[in-house]
Structure 1
Amino acid sequence: MGGMSDQTTPQDPTTQHPGPEAQSGEQIEHPGRTDDMDTQPDHGEFSYRGSGRLDGRKVLITGGDSGIGRAVAIAFAREGADIAISYLPEEEDDARETARWVHEARRTAVLLPGDIRDEAFCGELVERAVEGLGGLDVLVNNAAYQMAQPGGLADITTEQLDRVLKTNVYAMFWITRAALKHLGAGSAIINTSSIQAFDPSPGLLDYASTKAAILNFTKGLAAQLADDGIRVNAVCPGPIWTPLIPATMDAEKVDQFGADTPMGRAGQPAELAPAYVFLASQESSYVTGDRILVTGGKTA
């Protein structure tokens, strides 16, 4: 699934990255910027080595400024792709840092700030990405919003539900619909779902529901587009250490984030990127309507 690391000897995956003790109840303000984190995630900046799997591909990544999106952008760029990055305007610093890594790989980076909860912007986003890249071959629907509510359903306001649904589901529909006219045979759509789609946390009921919807959308759209030679798949992360976590969970949850996996720790964004590379590349030419779990051993 791509060249993940420059280390040539096998490593113990349980100790390859820091455990929950490094997170120590860390808290930052939402929406969460990488520079505000005491324990910085690993996006593969110093480990991912490409081998031409995506030469010349033109890719739009939503939520590409930080976390999983940044790791995917770095890996794709090192595999030879040009990248358009969608992000909220208040995440400009993170987006520029991601673009810097793309440029270091000698690939094009197109920065596209805006709020994907707005349908008109979603259409504009795709057109600006196509204009900036000169086309579109791969769409990665990755942007997401969550806000943990320990009290469960009773504490989920209509305002929060609306934001979660529009960011995670509506925007995926709008952006994918706008992208279809630019995608041809050999193109790929990759949606970020979650282990939450199968094993929902009580405090993330609205978010978990959207992640299940994303899987259903993936399977249905894959069947719809198979005759056109366009593949649609999903990646289902487990607990991954990104700015979203300390920005949306209380200190106690952050302190134990990832501890309940068989690996005993949260995953790093860099550990997800190879799954996206595989699904975007010709190596997965017979894979559609499917999912890849990257969960540290948690099962669906």
Structure 2
Amino acid sequence: MGMKPYLLTESDYVHQDALSYPFEERGLQFGDGVYEVIRIYGGRFYQLHDHIDRLYRSAEAIKLEVPYEKAELLEKLATLLEKNSVTTDAKLYLQVTRGSAPRDHAFPVGVGANLYAYIADLTRKTEEMKHGVSVITHEDERWQNCYIKSLNLLPNVLAKQTAKEHGAYEAILHRGERVTECSSSNVFLVKDGSVYTHPETNQILHGCVRTRVRTFCQEAGIPFVEQSFTVEDLQDADELFLTSTTSEIVPIVKVDGSAVQDGKPGDLTQKLQRAYEADAQIEHVSVFQT
């Protein structure tokens, strides 16, 4: 993955080789910070304002002051895109932490936040869209404030690694029998023409692509039901799919080794992915099985 040479920090644009922080940095030692991943298509940000709004909501939730006002940060990210001459598909990673200070659990006094943002190439996951992916189910062991996009991702990492060890793309998380989301994406169930997904509570990340899927459904007259479903419901689904900034909309064709219906991407999932392409102004590529 090619990383672009210039980064944005809390004070200026720097070359990637010049970025350094003390080892007593609160993001490193406590996971004391928030982040966003923003998609870029053909050199253009997709859902930039949605992501930045969520960044500030997450920062407010953990009492962290972002070093730029929102309008200024938006301008600086646009300049970062220009400085790196980005014209292809990529992603922007943006992280804000509570800064560098001697290690103490309590917030440091008089210490400014650390911020960095970088851009790296990222191609679309067309093979996953074409063939669909397999997933496993996994107990949701995260904390109670998953709506905050914080750096505390160890339970997500462990669930994703378990999925990888089972040859799966993702892990669908559940609290008891109730499905919440995946380790790094939101999950949706299609039944009798309706799309179901967990409501926007503190137990899931309020995904930006999830929000667009709701809009796509409303525009197409597809019932969008924000209601949790169970692990057992997964095996009786007409279709399943997941969404994230880096995955877009990906069909799930197998859960814990069992095929979803005929084991092929469903029609409604394909329809929503095409709506995504139109919304993101991506040139349509026929990626689905026929």
Query: TM-score band (shorter)?
Result: under 0.3
Q: Which has the higher contact order (CA 8 A, sep 6+)?
A: 1
Q: Which has the higher helix share?
A: 1
Larger Rg: 2
* TM-score, with structure 1 as normaliser: 0.24
* TM-score, with structure 2 as normaliser: 0.25
